[in-house]
Structure 1
Amino acid sequence: MRHLSLAVIIAIFGGGGVVAQQPQFFNTVDGSPLNFDDAMEEGRDTEAVKEFLETGVNIYNENEEVMKEAEDIYNTMCSGCHGHYGEGKIGPGLNDDYWTYPQNETDVGLFSTLYGGATGQMGPMWGSLTLDEMLLAMAWVRHLYTGEPDTAGWLTPEQQEEFTPYKPKGGAEE
């Protein structure tokens, strides 16, 4: 009986390796599955988008090579409602530990909110930003985080060790 159980376990887990499941993306408001057919063709085939749709990991997070572009996209598309430092204006703050939608604590959740929209004035971004630009905007939002690194679940353990909470330049805090 013991050998049979071991054989069943090996068959189920494919010899010991557990296969990671692709992330699932759902509309933040109504919970329906998101349809990426509506997304712009441009920006679908980048390494970052392919990795993200397969694993839910945003390789742009804390990637210095893309931070200027990420900041520019955020400032153009997001800061009018969420503030230049993610502090919140007519839209909620994005730089602390409180999330209007708790699923936004994960990059899959935040991407779903960007792509499909939320309540109030936050419409879907699939017609305004490419999938790649959404990942860049998210990376800047994550960069603006003012909380403790160990609560930044979107960062890898290595990134958490190196992460410094964001402080606006030139502010009264300096």
Structure 2
Amino acid sequence: MRNLICGLMLGVGAFACAAYAQTSGLAFNNTVTGEKLNFDDALPEGRDTDGVKKFMQTGVNPYTEDKSCLKKGEQIFLSACSGCHGHIGEGKIGPGLNDAYWTYPENETDVGLFSTIFGGAKASMGPQYQNLKLDEMLLVMAWVRHLYKDDVKQAPWFSDVQKKNYKPYQHGETFGDDPPGSCKTVAK
């Protein structure tokens, strides 16, 4: 039912869907204060992608382990996040993101990690809603999840199928320019 209502609301925009998600079980709250996040503050581009729509309906990042999204996620992570979190999520000024320890335990869920990226956290982790588009946040999350190096049993964000096919990140790993998947570039 939620997917049907959200689907009907998409004509109004992903933010109507996000508001519905909050009232129907998905809570997007500031990691530090607990206040509800205001998606009206987000950049206008990247709000209505299929990935954002699916995420706002389900709370699950559809880009996780989608090889067509990982290269884009890596590029955004390297330019926007690696200065604080390290090139492979090992941690620098900010905490490591590639292991089973989360400074904020809610970041084990996609909704929690998205909320932290969107609304910020303590110390130097400011809100990213004016730096990254919502779709870019999902791409970064997919890359962060891909960097994970610990026991897959401690990775609740992976589906059972993803856990079964899990291969830890290998430094230097590369992806083709346009692998099939939901982020595949459409030829113009």
Would you call these one fold, judging by a TM-score over 0.5?
yes
Residues 29-40 of structure 1: pairs in structure 2 closer than 5 A: 29-40=32-43
Shift of 1:148: 1.5
Counterpart of 1:48 (choices 39, 51, 59) is: 51
Looking at structure 2, the residues matched to 100 and 66 of structure 1 have their Cα atoms a distance apart, in angstroms, of 26
Looking at structure 2, the residues matched to 62 and 22 of structure 1 have their Cα atoms a distance apart, in angstroms, of 25
Alignment-mate amino acid for residue 37 of structure 2: L
Q: Is the 8 A contact 1:105 1:153 kept in 2?
A: yes
Q: How many residues align structurally?
A: 151
Q: Do structure 1's residue 106 and structure 2's residue 109 form an aligned pair?
A: yes
Looking at structure 2, the residues matched to 23 and 146 of structure 1 have their Cα atoms a distance apart, in angstroms, of 28
Instruction: Flag the structure with larger Rg.
Output: 1
Alignment-mate amino acid for residue 111 of structure 1: F
Looking at structure 2, the residues matched to 22 and 59 of structure 1 have their Cα atoms a distance apart, in angstroms, of 18
* Deviation digits for residues 125-167 of structure 1 (CA, Å, limit 9, x no counterpart): 0000000000000000000000112221111110110011223
Normalising by structure 1, what TM-score? 0.84
The match for 2:95 is 92
Looking at structure 1, the residues matched to 156 and 107 of structure 2 have their Cα atoms a distance apart, in angstroms, of 11
Residues 65-76 of structure 1: pairs in structure 2 closer than 5 A: 65-76=68-79
Structure 1 runs of 4+ off > 4 angstroms?
A: none
The match for 2:142 is 139
Shift of 1:169: 3.3
Looking at structure 2, the residues matched to 89 and 156 of structure 1 have their Cα atoms a distance apart, in angstroms, of 29
Q: Aligned Cα RMSD in Å? A: 1.4
Q: Is the 8 A contact 1:22 1:56 kept in 2?
A: no
Looking at structure 1, the residues matched to 82 and 117 of structure 2 have their Cα atoms a distance apart, in angstroms, of 14
More deviation in 21-30 or 82-91?
21-30
Looking at structure 2, the residues matched to 137 and 169 of structure 1 have their Cα atoms a distance apart, in angstroms, of 18
The match for 2:185 is none
Counterpart of 2:80 (choices 62, 77, 81) is: 77
The match for 1:23 is 26
The match for 2:153 is 150
Looking at structure 2, the residues matched to 22 and 135 of structure 1 have their Cα atoms a distance apart, in angstroms, of 20
Normalising by structure 2, what TM-score? 0.78
